[in-house]
Amino acid sequence: MTRLAVLEVDSAYLTEYKSFLKEGVEQALKKEPGVLTIYPMSEVSRPTHFTILEVYASKAAYELHLKTPHFLKYKNGTLHMVKSLQLVNVNPLTPQFTINQKRKK
């Protein structure tokens, strides 16, 4: 399952949001084998606009991710920071090529 999360963050919370995001991504990659990639990016010309590439081994892995303590901490901690959020399911055109993210033990 592959998805893009496209969001805008209130500029007053940008630094705090990035901290929540970094911690959540690190924990997901460390603790969840079903999370294959979470790759957050911000736009150069609009640093409050983010696109996060999320790749899960399956829909079940994604659903499990939504229940983890680190995701819930991120979600609940950033609700007031996010001005807009769009979740877009996508089909990879070259699924044989992957982003190889190193996992911290």
Kindly state whether residue 102 falls inside one of the protein's structural domains. no
Kindly state whether residue 19 falls inside one of the protein's structural domains. yes
Kindly state whether residue 96 falls inside one of the protein's structural domains. no
Q: What percent of the chain has pLDDT over 90?
A: 87
Kindly state whether residue 72 falls inside one of the protein's structural domains. yes
Give the mean model confidence (pLDDT) for residues 26-47: 96
* Confidence (pLDDT) at 96: 74
Predicted confidence (pLDDT) at residue 104 exceeds the cutoff of 70: no
**Domain range for 68:** 2-90
Q: How many domains are contained in the chain?
A: 1
SS3 state at 40 = strand
Kindly state whether residue 61 falls inside one of the protein's structural domains. yes
* Alpha-carbon span 102 to 99, nearest angstrom: 10
pTM of the model: 0.90
What is the identity of the amino acid at 58?
Answer: S
Kindly state whether residue 104 falls inside one of the protein's structural domains. no
**Average pLDDT score, the chain:** 93
* Confidence (pLDDT) at 99: 74
Mind listing the pLDDT tens digit for each residue in 62-84?
Answer: 999 999 999 999 999 999 999 99
Phi-psi region of 92 (alpha: psi -120 to 50; beta: other; left: phi over 0): beta
Kindly state whether residue 38 falls inside one of the protein's structural domains. yes
CATH number (domain holding residue 40) = 3.30.70.100
Kindly state whether residue 95 falls inside one of the protein's structural domains. no
Q: CA angle 14-46-51, nearest 5°? A: 75
Three-state SS string over 48-97 comes to: CEEEEEEEECCHHHHHHHCCCHHHHHHHHHHCCCEEEEEEEEECCCCCCC
**C-alpha 42: how far from its chain's center?**
12
